[in-house]
């Protein structure tokens, strides 16, 4: 597979020879690319959220189905395999249908007691879709994050921007932007890494003839869309290092 393509043909031969001599290690598409420093040795990374995070995860301790499918599985799989010397442990406690309020009801058991070093949260599309106002969402999420920081003062927070496409709107499409603004503001308030998603999805959807290629029902990513989420998450973390 080609490591790179040449723009300036004049230099091509020289560069090719010099590079052949000088390249120590061209990372493959599956290399770690400096991810090792993302989290401390033996860190526990917990994914929280709604159905997008749930991904049909197993409800018992059988490690065969423990993580569900989706961006969280890909991230755990990639980061765990390529940085095995760090011995990171990945957990998922996403629950389908959750809003911030219903997630709050299980927060002690499903988050605080697990003592994560890193906590990634994707929540909001059910608040948006089922009629909680953006103000209620902001207030509920604010309380949840304040409580989390009180109980786990050293936790590294990652907040993923909730997203939706035109298809999912029961309300005017513009509404989701208010929930997104709230999540972005709270990420700043609590020092969380913020993972923007809506614009990325919009751009990909616009450039693809098949309407359901990235998000099939306006809310849930397809397997293609989960890769985008995974990329966005990792990009945000790498940029925040």
- Give the length of the chain: 241
206 binds a second copy (CB under 8 A): no
27 binds a second copy (CB under 8 A): yes
Q: Which is nearer to a second copy, 52 or 134 (CB)?
A: 52
Residue range at the interface with a second copy (CB under 8 A); choices 78-86, 119-127, 145-153, 182-190: 78-86
Choose among 199, 196, 127: nearest CA to 160.
Answer: 196
Residue 194 in contact with residue 159, Cβ under 8 Å? yes
4 binds a second copy (CB under 8 A): yes
Choose among 58, 68, 140: nearest CA to 105.
Answer: 140
Helix (H, G, I), strand (E, B) or coil at 103: helix
Give how many residues touch a second copy by CB under 8 A. Answer: 71
Residues 140-169 that bind a second copy (CB under 8 A): none
Minimum distance, C-beta of residue 200 to a second copy, in the bound complex (Å): 11
Minimum distance, C-beta of residue 29 to a second copy, in the bound complex (Å): 5
Minimum distance, C-beta of residue 40 to a second copy, in the bound complex (Å): 17
Choose among 60, 122, 63: nearest CA to 96.
Answer: 122
Q: Which is nearer to a second copy, 51 or 148 (CB)?
A: 51
Give dist(CA 133, CA 110) in Å, integer. Answer: 25
């Amino acid at each position: 597979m080609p490591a790179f393509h040449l723009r300036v043909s004049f230099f091509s031969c020289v560069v090719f020879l010099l590079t052949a001599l000088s390249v120590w290690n061209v990372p493959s598409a599956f290399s770690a690319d400096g991810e090792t420093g993302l989290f401390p040795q033996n860190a526990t990374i917990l994914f929280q959220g709604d159905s997008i995070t749930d991904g049909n995860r197993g409800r018992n301790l059988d490690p065969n189905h423990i993580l569900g499918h989706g961006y969280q599985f890909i991230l755990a799989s990639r980061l765990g395999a390529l940085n095995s010397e760090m011995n990171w442990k990945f957990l998922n406690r996403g629950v389908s249908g959750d809003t911030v309020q219903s997630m709050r009801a299980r927060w002690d058991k499903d988050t605080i007691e697990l003592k994560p070093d890193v906590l990634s949260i994707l929540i909001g599309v059910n608040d948006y879709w089922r009629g909680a106002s953006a103000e209620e969402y902001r207030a509920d999420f604010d309380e949840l994050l304040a409580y989390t920081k009180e109980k786990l003062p050293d936790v590294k927070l990652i907040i993923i921007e909730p997203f939706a496409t035109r298809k999912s709107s029961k309300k005017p499409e513009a509404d989701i932007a208010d929930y997104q603004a709230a999540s972005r503001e709270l990420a700043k308030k609590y020092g969380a890494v913020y993972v923007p998603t809506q614009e990325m999805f919009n751009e990909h959807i616009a450039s693809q003839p098949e309407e359901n290629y990235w998000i099939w029902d306006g809310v849930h990513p397809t397997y293609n869309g989960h890769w985008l989420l995974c990329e966005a998450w990792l990009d945000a973390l790498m940029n925040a290092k």
